[in-house]
Amino acid sequence: MEPTQESVPDDGAGMAPPAMPAAASPARTRQMLPPKGSCWYCEKPLDNVKRFCDKECADAFDEEKEYTR
């Protein structure tokens, strides 16, 4: 005896939601900020290339941005 297959309409209800686009990732958002000569989080003076003085400020900026959406 062979197993039977039931026909189920494919409405996508059982599928996982699509992944977040890469452009919305925190690291990508940080790169879109223009360098301004100071840290975007704590305002510590920086050169005209860096956006954050260290990883802690970058992470804190991302966290604050997430809560203020």
8-51 confidence digits (pLDDT tens): 555 555 555 555 554 456 777 888 999 999 999 999 999 999 99
pLDDT at 3 over 70: no
Long-range contacts of 3-7 (CB under 8 A, 24+ apart): none
Is 37 inside a domain boundary? Answer: yes
Please indicate, yes or no, if residue 13 is contained in any of the structural domains: no
Q: Can you tell me the distance from the alpha carbon of 35 to that of 28, in angstroms, rounded to the nearest whole number?
A: 14
- 30 in any annotated domain: yes
Q: Work out how many domains the chain is built from and give that number.
A: 1
Q: How many CA within 13 A on the CB side of residue 29?
A: 13
What is the domain extent for residue 42? 24-67
Query: 38 with 46: CB under 8 angstroms?
Result: yes
